[in-house]
Structure 1
Amino acid sequence: MKNLRLLRSLPLAGLALALSACTSTGGGPSPMDLDAGIDLRTYRDGDDLLTAGLGAAGLRNPTPPAFADPAAPTPTELRRRAVWTNWRGIADLAPGGGYGEFYGSLAPVTGREYQALVTLPGRKQPHRVMVQLPDDFDSDARCIVVTASSGSRGIYGAIALAGAWGLPRGCAVAYTDKGAGTGYVDTADGRGFALDGQLAQAGQAVEFKVPARAAGDGVAPIAVKHAHSGDNPEADWGRHVAQAARFSLQVLSLAHPDDGPWTFANTRMIAVGVSNGGGAVLRAAELPDTGIDAVVAISPNVLPGDGGRALYDYSTDAALWMPCALNAAAFDNVVLARAKGEKSVAGMARCGMLKARGLLEAKDPLVQAEQARQHLLDGGWTDAGIAAGVISSNFDLWRAVNATYASAYARTGPADMPCGFSFAALGPDGQPRAPTPAERAAWWPDASGIPPGAGVNLVGELTTTADPTLGGNLCLRALWTEAGSEVRAGIEQTRAAPPRKQLPMIVLHGADDGLVPEPFSGGAYARWAKAQGADLRYWRIENAQHFDAFLGLPVLGSRYVPMMPYGYRALDAAWMHLAAGKALPGDANIRTTPRSFSDGKLAPLTPENLGHMP
């Protein structure tokens, strides 16, 4: 990395003075108090904002960028690895997948990157905000894209969507990790991660503050911010996005003072997000005075004010019933569900355990599977959603998500998670152990924000029976079904309010989504918000599920189309509406044709596969 300029821990008084000179005559929003100074780095001459110097070839490489010293990677190495991880976690970059060919961009974009930590009033933990400002930022167009990370990812968790759409167009892009992220903490010493991704030294600001655990209490658990912040960050997703929007004007006032004032009134701002990020921008749409002029939400995880189902409700339900249901005849051709012509042994074990607890009536395992399928259908699932849910079911993702969210909703710490769960590194014997320096150094760039992953595992509530996860899943489900639980109270705080009147919105959801099902979330929100008078267009995409990144696998690429192209099209439409007054497209049910697979080869994706976009 060349031409590096770093302002580390700029004193707040100095920052406020600099900003007051920029905004005192322009009427822009007052500068926020930051937990530390702004960390500014410039990326040119072989490094860049969008690909971290990896370019298209480096991002497509299935091997992550290496660290010269795995136990002590440099800030440059950490950022490069984090960008690689987040690109590959969201986008389908496999050859023939279409990315960078007829949608999206992998071209390097040079410019400056500003990062800071800011805490919402009344909350315990900061969230990380970032503004990427391209060198060819267009001060005349005054375009800002504000976004939130998908899932529980770190600050680069929306780069493949918001960054790749906005930066090549000369827009600034403002990000928030929305109170989650990958700054895990080993509670043995309580050291967090600094803004540069390295383990912080004494006195440095960290993105997650956790006290060290007293010695002598066994292996210390690992603290994960989404689960253990004590803030129930999902309840504040909209406010996190609003702070990222304010931070973007704060940065522009510093970077382009001669083009000021920078205000919400004279700057166009589009909010966009996918999955949890999509839910975050919908929650921001409720708030006044955010500066957001249009919203695009893709596969959003959102609990509407009326209708739909909470993620914790349907995911704890699916964790119990889906392994059994996937043995039903309706899923005989779902390859990942089980070996062709056979039934899943684990699924039959689950059916038997549900029968033993009086939850199923039939004695025949195949009839039990059909009864489990019918239970899910009665709750609003579709066969297509159940089929796509095999990804979450087979990889035990439901249990990991539910343990993390239960802890967040109940605001518990790393040592007192609900149902006896915790997070830890594991030894060869399956028992918790202290993480190695190399494992710990890689948490920030490699983790997804919800273990397991990056050497951190979900621990607890496993038995030696044929169905070892059942007990934990039953316990997690009971936290929803029991009235008055702390978990249910925390979930209620996440319920959406109606969006602002006359705010242009486009919501998109895949009809086959098996992680955040369309009938429970995006579709339910669209119906409810429209009934409240929202200026909303809803696009339902057939043959699309939640995980674009998995579509390089022929078994999935031949069944599903990616969601990302429709997100780019929606952003184009929103921008043309704001900049040129062009009417937004209407509602759409988009018919698609997945790629063919023959002779061991998956056909390349073409625009024709995607159907007619609005």
Structure 2
Amino acid sequence: MSASDVFGEVRVTTHRGTDDLLSAGLGLRGLAGTLAPFAEPTAPTPAELRRRAIQSSWKGIADLGPKGGFGSVYGAVPAVPGREYQAFARLPAASSPHRVLVQVPDDFDRTRRCLVVTASSGSRGIYGAIALAGAWGLPRGCAVAYTDKGTGSGYFDTADGTGVSLDGTRAKAGTAELEFEPKHPAVDAGIAVKHAHSGDNPEADWGRHVLQAARFGLAMLDRAFPEQAPFTAANTRVIATGLSNGGGAVLQAAGDDSDDMLAGVVALEPNVYVAGQGRSFFDYGTEAALLLPCAMAAPAFDGVPFARVAGVSPPGWALRCASLHAHGRLASATPQGQASEALEKLHATGWKDNALAVAASSTSLDLWRAVTAAYASAYLRRGVGAMPCGFSYRTLNAAGVPGPADPRVRAAWWADAGGIPPGAGVVLAGGTDLSLDPTLPGNICLRDLWTGVDGDAVALRAGVEATAAALPREGLPVFVVHGADDGLIPTAFSSEPYVRWLRASGRAPVFWKVPYAQHFDAFLAFPDFGDRHVPLLAFGYAALDRLWEHVAKGRALPEDAAAAGTKPRGAGTLTPANLGID
């Protein structure tokens, strides 16, 4: 390990018999079913929390529905017995710890040593990439090292002074080391969330988080198999893979890998930013939050899933158009003119129609505002109680109204929460008014943080620039796999500029732009939505297969066009012909 690595106490657990590493004993059918229960809802055991955290992570990433083809057309969830090694880790100068975990299968292949290192998707907890990295690596005899990359669901409740300990259970501040513990929070500050409130701008360090997790993984292999130690990058192939924010993290790691630890990288739908090229998520996310609700009133969105209710445009879309006109952000005086103008503005900044159609889902779920509010707080290094634009995170009580957290819901946060509220009984509060378009003030404030000239806007843009990826070393195999219909992280703003930059710099990445794939495989279970798309996870597994053939057997890397035969699933069940993987 590096001299700068700081790890706390390592918790070691064994998972065999009715428990295992990949599904905590649930298997594919159990993962797809209702959430695993707790015997005592207000005091779940570490084993119960782990099982449900694994299940929640699978459900959040994979399409496990009856038409989705998981387990029959692609993917599998075999029982994989083994051990887990988990700790809190710190980077130099970081004010808050992050969580690292290594899964070592009992049938670890000691003749072809392999370590898969990954980072959670979105802002999820430590198991957030298990459906990608764990599902591919563990059955092949690879160990898998995970990092939550400074995000995660270790929420701290300022009202009762509790956070999440290493085993996932809740504990009072001062009685145990916590996943996240803000300094001197006010008791009425609400819920403290590590990604938004740590003060560390974790996204700027995502690559270093991944490389530190790889070093932790090698050290835990030393502990698991002392007779074959040391495990190093020279005698163990280290493959990095991740999805969404995790995909961006492994591409950052590729650029930060000055010690040549990585043998190859597979990034799915990466949230990656290249300085001076493409667009940052905060830029296009705040733009989408402001303009898309109005643009979706345009006829171009007729028949688009999530854009209409019973075939009719919701009143909220026209209200956003009128609000933007009243604030001088749209010139047109008629509702249809305003919708068309908003759509033209999005086209002018690079949005493509296929991405906009799928972005309707994120808009109807108010995802843009939720994510960019958290990111603004992270980029500005704000603590709990000091989020920009008046935002905060608050709890709902058992009656579903603002009040103290329901003890049953709070006990399950580590397993159930996604790392960025709303969800699991925590809501995004503030940034609203009493108008017919109540979320507009917060959205305007967030957008002005990107376009403005005051001190906060300058500081936020500096925070974003700190997240830019660096160039990977020459000869490092890099796969980028991205859905052509991604509406959350459009390829035009992320993967395509990144791949062009690599190629202009003499690198040779493999780029699979997958037709009909979008960002959220889990959304494919929705009627009509799944009919139009294919799962991206299948192509992630295929890319990992091909990378392994290259690094372990010396086979040539594939061409970009490997996914050209893809076609939508339609109303039936997914078949191999839909994927068209050569």
Q: Assess same fold via TM > 0.5.
A: yes
Query: Which amino acid letter does the alignment assign opposite residue 530 of structure 1?
Result: R
Identity of matched residues, %: 56
Distance in 2 of aligned mates of 1:30 and 1:357: 53
Choose which of 197, 222, 246 in structure 1 pairs with 2:168. Answer: 197
After TM superposition, the structure 1 stretch with the greater mean CA deviation from structure 2, 388-397 or 358-367, is 358-367
After TM superposition, the structure 1 stretch with the greater mean CA deviation from structure 2, 576-585 or 298-307, is 298-307
Distance in 1 of aligned mates of 2:249 and 2:5: 22
Answer whether contact 2:305 2:361 (CA < 8 A) is retained. Answer: no
Answer whether contact 1:184 1:208 (CA < 8 A) is retained. Answer: yes
Q: 1:470 to 1:151 in 2, by over 3 A?
A: same
CA offsets 1:446-483 (integer angstroms, 9 cap, x no match): 00000000101000122222111111100010000013
Report the counterpart of residue 546 of structure 2 in structure 1.
573
Would you say 1:510 and 2:456 are equivalent positions?
A: no
SS of 2:480 mapped into structure 1:
strand
Distance in 1 of aligned mates of 2:277 and 2:442: 28
Distance in 2 of aligned mates of 1:75 and 1:353: 49
Distance in 2 of aligned mates of 1:316 and 1:230: 21
CA offsets 1:324-361 (integer angstroms, 9 cap, x no match): 11111111121320135532210000111111122222
Answer whether contact 1:333 1:340 (CA < 8 A) is retained. Answer: no
1:410-449 residue pairs with structure 2 within 5 A?
410-426=380-396, 432-449=402-419
Would you say 1:152 and 2:123 are equivalent positions?
A: yes
Distance in 2 of aligned mates of 1:370 and 1:30: 55
Tell me how far 1:306 sits from its aligned partner.
Answer: 3.3
Answer whether contact 1:246 1:290 (CA < 8 A) is retained. Answer: no
Answer whether contact 1:32 1:247 (CA < 8 A) is retained. Answer: no
Tell me how far 1:69 sits from its aligned partner.
Answer: 1.0
Report the counterpart of residue 443 of structure 2 in structure 1.
473
Answer whether contact 1:332 1:340 (CA < 8 A) is retained. Answer: no
Distance in 1 of aligned mates of 2:84 and 2:398: 41
Distance in 2 of aligned mates of 1:428 and 1:77: 22
User: How many residues get paired?
Assistant: 576
Distance in 1 of aligned mates of 2:315 and 2:209: 44
Answer whether contact 1:100 1:106 (CA < 8 A) is retained. Answer: yes
Distance in 2 of aligned mates of 1:335 and 1:506: 30
SS of 2:171 mapped into structure 1:
coil
Report the counterpart of residue 424 of structure 2 in structure 1.
454
CA offsets 1:386-433 (integer angstroms, 9 cap, x no match): 110111111111111011000000000110100000001035898642
Distance in 1 of aligned mates of 2:307 and 2:279: 25
Distance in 2 of aligned mates of 1:590 and 1:225: 40
SS of 1:192 mapped into structure 2:
strand
Q: 1:32 to 1:112 in 2, by over 3 A?
A: farther
With normalisation by structure 2, the TM-score equals 0.96
Q: 1:594 to 1:474 in 2, by over 3 A?
A: same
Q: 1:251 to 1:340 in 2, by over 3 A?
A: same
CA offsets 1:71-102 (integer angstroms, 9 cap, x no match): 10000110011011000000000012111112
Distance in 1 of aligned mates of 2:2 and 2:575: 48
Distance in 2 of aligned mates of 1:341 and 1:36: 55
**Which ranges in structure 1 are unaligned for 5 or more consecutive residues?**
1-28, 598-602
Query: Which amino acid letter does the alignment assign opposite residue 177 of structure 2?
Result: A
Distance in 2 of aligned mates of 1:117 and 1:280: 19
Report the counterpart of residue 16 of structure 2 in structure 1.
44
Answer whether contact 1:245 1:290 (CA < 8 A) is retained. Answer: no
Distance in 2 of aligned mates of 1:570 and 1:80: 28
Report the counterpart of residue 26 of structure 2 in structure 1.
54
SS of 1:107 mapped into structure 2:
coil
Distance in 1 of aligned mates of 2:328 and 2:397: 37
Tell me how far 1:203 sits from its aligned partner.
Answer: 3.9
After TM superposition, the structure 1 stretch with the greater mean CA deviation from structure 2, 332-341 or 361-370, is 332-341
Choose which of 137, 144, 151 in structure 2 pairs with 1:180. Answer: 151
SS of 1:339 mapped into structure 2:
coil
SS of 2:481 mapped into structure 1:
strand
Choose which of 335, 338, 346 in structure 1 pairs with 2:308. Answer: 338
Could you say what the CA RMSD is over the residues aligned between the two structures, in angstroms?
1.6
Tell me how far 1:241 sits from its aligned partner.
Answer: 0.1
Distance in 1 of aligned mates of 2:113 and 2:186: 52
Report the counterpart of residue 564 of structure 1 in structure 2.
537
Distance in 1 of aligned mates of 2:353 and 2:399: 39
Report the counterpart of residue 207 of structure 2 in structure 1.
238
1:149-298 residue pairs with structure 2 within 5 A?
149-200=120-171, 202-214=174-186, 219-287=188-256, 288-298=258-268
Report the counterpart of residue 462 of structure 2 in structure 1.
489
Tell me how far 1:114 sits from its aligned partner.
Answer: 0.6
Distance in 1 of aligned mates of 2:384 and 2:183: 11
Answer whether contact 1:336 1:390 (CA < 8 A) is retained. Answer: yes
Q: 1:429 to 1:361 in 2, by over 3 A?
A: farther
Report the counterpart of residue 361 of structure 2 in structure 1.
391
After TM superposition, the structure 1 stretch with the greater mean CA deviation from structure 2, 245-254 or 202-211, is 202-211
